[in-house]
Amino acid sequence: MNLYFEKTSFSHVTKEADTSDEWDRDDTSTEWSFGRLGLTKRQYEESFPVSFDVKAGDIVFAVVAVWSTGNSFSHDEQHCSELFGIFKDANEALEFEKALKNKSVPDIYYPWDGYFESLDYIELLTRIVEP
């Protein structure tokens, strides 16, 4: 079964590129808004598989990570986000959130663990499943 996750973002330039440097580019910052979790897909929503039965009205807990990236020529603050888990049990979600922060979840790739990447935050969301 899949749940569908709504997230939106807004990016803005925090430092404009130096026009005298052909390699330089703008630095940016992104703000994220995490919305509904639902049983039916709406436009632009991501699907996420869950291994438990869920119905409209159930309370679930989602764990989302946000991280920055860049390269030698710019920095993109809070540019990336990913939903890493959905749980029915709040304690299980809290344990997973803690393990994700400590990079101790087996068989998970940590995309913020790179030369130019860095973790900004991990957020535990409480949602009522929508139809």
pLDDT band, residue 83 (cuts 50/70/90): very high
* Domain span at 71: 2-17+24-128
In this predicted structure, the answer to whether residue 44 has a pLDDT above a threshold of 90 is no
Whose structure tokens read 């929508």?
130
In this predicted structure, the answer to whether residue 53 has a pLDDT above a threshold of 90 is yes
- Identify the H or E element spanning 65: strand 59-71
- Identify the H or E element spanning 90: helix 90-101
* pTM summary value: 0.93
What distance in Å separates the CA atoms of residue 117 and residue 52, rounded to the nearest whole number? 33
Structural domains of the chain, count = 1
Asked if 104 contacts 39 with a C-beta cutoff of 8 angstroms, the reply is no
The three-state secondary structure class of 12 is strand
